Amino acid sequence: MSRRYFGTDGIRGRVGEFPITPDFMIKLGWAAGCVFAREGQSRIVIGKDTRISGYMFESALEAGLSAAGVDVLLTGPMPTPAVAYLTRTFRASAGIVISASHNPYDDNGIKFFSAQGTKLPDEVEQAIEAQMDLQMSTVSSDRLGKASRINDAAGRYIEFCKSTGGGNLNLRGVKIVIDCANGATYHVAPKVFSELGAEVVEIASSPDGLNINERCGATAPDNLRKIVLAEKADLGIALDGDGDRLIMVDHTGAVVDGDEILYIIANAMREQGQFSGGVVGTLMSNFGLEQAFKRLGIPFVRAAVGDRYVMEQLSQRDWLLGGENSGHVVCRHLTSTGDGTVSAVQVLRAMADSGRSLHELRQGMTKLPQVMINVRLSKRVRLDDSEELAQAVAAAEAALGDSGRVLLRPSGTEPVVRVMVEGEDRAQVEAVCRELAEKAEKILTALVS
């Protein structure tokens, strides 16, 4: 059964355009409530980021859930991973986050978590969609769901994040600039690190409902770089609007992406004798990360792009660590989803244990030059339908040898094929990528014409 509303990361779109409308959200809340209530489960946590539309959708979801006879626990503005954590700790049947992550304020979306704080299984999402087709009804008045607020939600999550660094982590003498993207971490992330002893400089921590992710946060770290240098800070932490992504900046102003953060955490766990299994990356993880783990003797596999697929691989293999270069890092031994604040605590733990700076810790991995060219077509096409294209890819791989990688990946939202080439020699990488993109455009254009 194909899904009509749920994508790889919930339901997302422009506010006021279907399905991101109040009437849809009431029906969605009712449908989800009906599905969870079938199992006798009747309590759902709702959190949101700082978008102005979050108030409207929070009320709509609350009304729909109440109509289905489900109680609601409201957290107010809270990071996505915090809602996953609170869902587990309150033994709720599910968690709902109202957020469009790193998108601008005029987008919004809905993410669901299971009782275990993980993404919903496909069959539950399909059951909710099937329920959406039915006429909405309301339970009798004596069975209506009640709503209450978790008044200490932020404090609970702050203590949890601190605890993931171990009982003796002391950041006294460390100066950190924290960019909260004017998002859901504005009232929690700075306190996590200041209570651990660090000197904290806050930026983008004054949300007004409209400025979330606006030239700040994990997707726009330039301002963080400048302030880290101006403040002579030891490092910078950039989170995205809902707090599940982490990008860092070292004391020299160099940006440290998700691949490097993944390497630092894995290597620190290995040095402490705490690592087991392997690491899950994605098709977009830099080839330099794969090489670094090979040198350390750490198994590495690639999942499809999306933290959902990283989690699937981690669960199947019973591994502890995975992530994406965009900054989604999953520490499965600590939490059930990607968590930017928890990941940052792990990097600070690695610094404290080793006595090395962030700049020094990232030196064990060398990112290789990566070039990507988008090939736009008139309509979507299956890449495995062309033997000629397969031969062109094989020729590009042969030119790079063991020192590079080729990836052709169709966009999930538009008729575009992304041609990506990595290797040790930037000039060669650029030439191979350009030649392969030209061949791919010619071959695929002929296929769709």
At residue 41, the pLDDT reads 63
d(CA 285, CA 432): 19
Examine the residue annotation and report whether 42 is marked as an active-site residue of this protein: no
Q: Where are the domains of the chain?
A: 11-151, 156-364, 370-448
Alpha-helix residue ranges (DSSP H) falling in 90-148: 122-132
d(CA 434, CA 430): 6
Helix (H) or strand (E) holding 194: helix 189-195
Longest alpha-carbon distance in the chain: 72
Nearest to 24 by CA among 43, 4, 39, 44: 4
At residue 395, the pLDDT reads 96
Rg, C-alpha atoms of the chain = 23
At residue 315, the pLDDT reads 95
Tokens of 174: 């460390």
| CATH superfamily of this structure's domain 11-151 | Alpha-D-Glucose-1,6-Bisphosphate, subunit A, domain 3 (3.40.120.10)
How do the pLDDT tens digits run along the chain, 449 residues long? 567 899 878 999 999 999 999 999 999 999 999 999 986 668 999 999 999 999 999 999 999 999 999 999 999 999 999 999 999 999 999 999 999 999 999 999 999 999 999 999 889 999 999 999 999 999 999 999 999 999 999 999 999 999 999 989 999 999 999 999 999 999 999 999 999 999 999 999 999 999 999 999 999 999 999 999 999 999 999 999 999 999 999 999 999 999 999 999 999 999 999 999 999 999 999 999 999 999 999 999 999 988 889 999 999 999 999 999 999 999 999 999 999 999 999 999 999 999 999 999 999 999 999 999 999 999 988 898 899 999 999 999 999 998 899 999 988 668 899 999 999 999 999 999 999 999 999 999 998 87
Among 101, 114, 285, 343, the active-site one is 101
At residue 280, the pLDDT reads 98
- Fold category of 156-364 in CATH: Alpha-D-Glucose-1,6-Bisphosphate; Chain A, domain 3 (3.40.120)
pTM for this entry? 0.93
CA separation (Å) from 388 to 243, 290, 410?
A: 44, 28, 17
Tell me if 156-364 shares its fold with 370-448: no
d(CA 320, CA 298): 12
Tokens of 134: 């039915």
At residue 82, the pLDDT reads 98
Half-sphere exposure of 334 (CA within 13 A, CB side): 28
- Fold category of 370-448 in CATH: TATA-Binding Protein (3.30.310)
